[in-house]
Amino acid sequence: MTACHTAPGLERRIAGREARIGIIGLGYIGLPLAVAFAQGGFRVTGFDIDPGKISALGDGRSYVDNVSSEDVAQCRSSHRLAATGDFTRLADCDVIVICVPTPLSRHREPDLRFVTGTAETIAAHLRPGQLVILESTTYPGTTEDVVKPILERGGLRSGTDFYLGFSPEREDPGNAAFRTVSIPKVAAGDGPLATTLVEAFYRTVFARVVMVSSPAAAEAVKITENVFRAVNIALVNELKLIYGAMGIDVWEVIDAAATKPFGYMPFYPGPGLGGHCIPIDPFYLTWKAREFGLSTRFVELAGEINVAMPRFVIDSLEQQLDRRQRKSLGSARVLILGLAYKKNVSDIRESPTFRLMDILAQRGAAVDFHDPLVPVIPPTRDHAAYAGIRSVALGAESLAAYDAVIVSTDHDAIDYHLVAREAKLIIDTRNAFARRNIASAAVVKA
């Protein structure tokens, strides 16, 4: 079977919503994508190694913030969405999208084992005429230099027998202004036929598709977006330190600067970076740059500043405990508000709260957390010791039992008036109280 026969046939099947879609990895990226294509009229099979996710979807339940259980149930009842751990069914799919994690190793180098393992699984079931798209964030060159050779091991060739592409995910959990299909979709194919198919595929459900010249360029788009955010957050974190020493409120400065209608974009400081993208992706570029004998000094400096923020927060807490209560950090009880990495979501990936908890424990403090969206800490790869710890209830009596409260994540569902009334000391890393016009002598910004 040659490309001249397979490519037009697949394009027609995509246009007619007859193509079978397979999504590998049903997490915060894969599940929204699977639901989007199921709602767009396709029959979608989601693949995952987690039996809990498969069971939840079988019951019509969602487990991610930006997909409702109602949407999952409707896709299930219309027979447009199925979930399985049987990867032999990949052979039945016309389009396969890879949405697996791409973490860093302990030495801050790319850990592509999930990508390579998934590519090897696909290769075992690859047949002529299939389109394979990588959506996992990674360094430029991964699709063509890592995934493509694995898929070609069985003798099939990209661009002739099967088709390969890359499209960076752009999900923003908790942002109600943008849904999966309303965010412009950047994409690229490995060769002209793959480019045509990738564009045809995404245009069926996305409002706008932006094609770039190569998978490497598309991979660089995602890295650039997240480096931009990491560097700007590092800048305001450093300004927080400088202005704080001068007695100037950095949040007041940023809000006033944001009134300028051109030439400025506001970013805000915090206790450290969280989420799967911004704390990780810049280091992918740093690692890849070394291959070309180049250093990424600007990016690495931003990383150093952001990584240092949790320790700055704890240092501020230690100073305030000594100044206000004559209490050492090692004898203090501390409550952290917010375990999720950002407000109004339950996603705890790379949350700076874990680093705050680590430092407090190392210095001898007793630490608990309260998060209205995370009742219990689930098992994680990097923070296994915290699994099973429950969020404490927030009340006047419980707050009185702590020497200090740290606002790490400013969920709207937290009762800040109660905290302001009852807490002895509040270290506010998010400007949560001032934004709500809550004045309290207990509040210290950090």
Written as six digits, the tokens of 192 are 């002209």
Predicted pLDDT at 344: 94
Q: Indicate if the pLDDT at residue 413 is higher than 90.
A: yes
Predicted pLDDT at 381: 81
Instruction: Report if residue 264 sits inside a domain.
Output: yes
Predicted pLDDT at 157: 97
Predicted pLDDT at 255: 97
State the catalytic residues: 277
> Do residues 259 and 192 share a domain?
no
Q: 103, 137, 116, 55: which is closest to 381 by C-alpha?
A: 103
Q: 323, 321, 320, 345: which is closest to 332 by C-alpha?
A: 321
> Do residues 150 and 72 share a domain?
yes
> Do residues 208 and 260 share a domain?
no
Q: Which residue range forms the structural domain that includes residue 249?
A: 227-445
> Do residues 110 and 193 share a domain?
yes
Instruction: Report if residue 265 sits inside a domain.
Output: yes
In eight-state DSSP terms, residue 432 is H
Instruction: Report if residue 346 sits inside a domain.
Output: yes
Give the domain-ending residue among 184, 213, 242.
213
> Do residues 275 and 197 share a domain?
no
Instruction: Report if residue 317 sits inside a domain.
Output: yes
Q: Are 334 and 356 in contact (CB under 8 A)?
A: no
Instruction: Report if residue 427 sits inside a domain.
Output: yes
Instruction: Report if residue 221 sits inside a domain.
Output: no
User: CB 371: neighbour CB atoms within 10 A?
Assistant: 25
Give the domain-ending residue among 213, 241, 256.
213
Predicted pLDDT at 140: 95
In eight-state DSSP terms, residue 173 is T
Written as six digits, the tokens of 330 are 């090692």
Predicted pLDDT at 154: 94
Instruction: Report if residue 380 sits inside a domain.
Output: yes
Q: Is 360 helix (H, G, I), strand (E, B) or coil?
A: helix
pLDDT tens per residue, range 324-333: 999 999 999 9
- Dihedral angle sign, alpha carbons of residues 52, 55, 59, 65: positive
What is the spatial distance between Cα 339 and Cα 354, in angstroms, rounded to a whole number? Answer: 8
> Do residues 241 and 198 share a domain?
no
Instruction: Report if residue 222 sits inside a domain.
Output: no
Q: How confident is the model at residue 1 (pLDDT cuts 50, 70, 90)?
A: very low
- CATH code for the domain of 108: 3.40.50.720
> Do residues 287 and 338 share a domain?
yes
> Do residues 234 and 165 share a domain?
no
Q: Residue with structure tokens 């592409």?
A: 165
> What number of helices (H) and strands (E) belong to the chain?
16, 13
> Do residues 240 and 340 share a domain?
yes
The domain total for the chain is 2
> Do residues 204 and 293 share a domain?
no
Quick one: the chain helix, strand, coil %, rounded to 5? 45, 15, 40
Q: How confident is the model at residue 276 (pLDDT cuts 50, 70, 90)?
A: low
> Do residues 136 and 171 share a domain?
yes
Q: What angle do CA 383, 85, 13 make, to 5 degrees?
A: 120
Query: 98 has which bridge partners?
Result: 24, 134
Give the domain-ending residue among 154, 185, 213.
213
Q: Indicate if the pLDDT at residue 173 is higher than 90.
A: no
> Do residues 314 and 175 share a domain?
no
pLDDT tens per residue, range 18-56: 999 999 999 999 999 999 999 999 999 999 999 999 999
